[in-house]
Amino acid sequence: MILNLLLNLAIFIVPSLVVWNQIIFYIYGKNDNVVNLILHDNGINLPKLSIIVPTKGERIDVIQGLINNIYEARWDKNKLEIIIVSDDDQAYFDKLLSTLIIPPGLDVKIFRREKRLGYKSGALAFGLQKSTGDLILTLDVDARIEKDSLIRAYNHMVNLGCDAVTMEWHGYSNITTSLARALMVSTVLTSRSILRGRDKLGLKVLPIGCGTIFKRSALEAVNGWDYTMVQDDYELGTRLINRGFRICASSSPVYVEVPDNLIAFYVQQTRWAMGTMEVLSRRFKYIVSSNIKIWQKIEIIAYLSQYIPIILTFISATVFGIAGFLGIKLSMSLPMFVIWAITLSVYAIIFVNSAKRSGIDTITAIKALGRLSAYTVGISPFLLVGTLNAFKKTRTYIVTPKGKKAESNIGYPILAFGVFFLLSAFLYMFRGDFLTFIWLAYYSIAFLYTFIAYIKGL
């Protein structure tokens, strides 16, 4: 039966291919063999660098922390400026101006957008207009860099003749939960695979929203950021690639705060799901018309479809569940199930080994991975909704509430799907289809676990 085959492919093979793809990229990207050029602190060879920092509703101590952090970085302070773009109301903006302490010799300009076109993309476009640097770096207010991060990234850019260079994401959290631990590990794994791994394999790297250094000339050639787009980084990347600019990936670290609770994770992931599909649908012509190899175009399209396998699994599981209630004969393939199980096991081993290198013991790493996996499955219906929202004429999003609690009503739909999949699993068990029962029961547990976490506020 063709439907049965397609459902099995969607549940087992498509996700397996995605995971193996990431594993291969990670293997290529985990080692950095690039020899850095030697630059000195006197800044003779350094161009002027403008760091654009969009902010709205952020605590002043977080902004102050970023300013102090950048002040400690190796770069000629005479060739460094920080452009803070505030979308706050006038009262809070005035408080920013009166409270922030600017270190001596550091050029910090603070602007408030009176006309708030778009979201982060609009703030970055505004910041670009106000900046004067030959290089432009984008950072989130909660980002932090090491003392040599800027120099290392710039060395990489010069050494390889790049027009933009990404830094390597390292997750951190002020509240260490199991989810935060998992995201701290997966952030490094993902960064090394989708950035450095893809770069080393000759694929086209897309910039990241926090931690990419651009040549000003490249940004101006494509008219900078498009304020109408939600996904500022990937959207800009498609236009840069279309114009023949090269984006490289470095191992220079930038520390980004990861979500530490379910609601923050849900907000972040649904926005990213909408954003990637927004770029794919609205910038498809830039991808296919780029003067790059056909396999590079296909890979970019596949990369921007990264949430589709999760959504396909959810849709296919729902079809299996409905079929169970209607008495329609569907069954899961044992060979495909085995391939899927082996793939997840290999990834789990890589995850645990990476966690150990970060000082996380095996049991804690397994628990963290389990929570992250469950949450990803639990919010899959909302990832579907987020993806569909990308096709709306008007698109909005909520800023990820990192480090603080937020409220949402996602719990009860998650519970409903968990009960639905569990009941359908037992229907398959009563009919003697134990493989389908095992998988649907496993799938339902992720929803039920996520609901419990929602009730507990985890």
Q: What is the mean pLDDT of each run of 10 residues along the chain (458 residues)?
A: 93 94 86 50 74 93 96 94 94 93 94 88 94 96 95 93 95 87 89 88 93 96 93 94 96 93 92 94 95 95 94 97 92 96 94 87 90 95 95 74 66 96 96 95 96 86
At residue 403, the pLDDT reads 52
In order of 8, 305, 448, the CA distances from 441 in angstroms are 16, 27, 10
What whole-number distance in Å separates Cα of residue 15 and Cα of residue 337? 11
pTM score, whole prediction? 0.90
In this structure, the dihedral spanned by the alpha carbons of residues 151, 152, 153 and 157, taken in order and rounded to 10 degrees, is 90
**Which residue blocks in 305-333 are alpha helix, DSSP H?**
308-326
At residue 32, the pLDDT reads 55
Q: CB 391: neighbour CB atoms within 10 A? A: 12
Vertex 138 angle, CA 133 and 144, to 5°? 115
Q: Buried (b) or exposed (e) across 110-126, using 16+ Cβ within 10 A? A: bebbeeeebbbbbbbbb
Q: CB 65: neighbour CB atoms within 10 A? A: 15
In 3-state terms, what secondary structure has residue 145?
strand
What whole-number distance in Å separates Cα of residue 365 and Cα of residue 178? 8
What whole-number distance in Å separates Cα of residue 14 and Cα of residue 410? 27
At residue 189, the pLDDT reads 87
At residue 206, the pLDDT reads 94
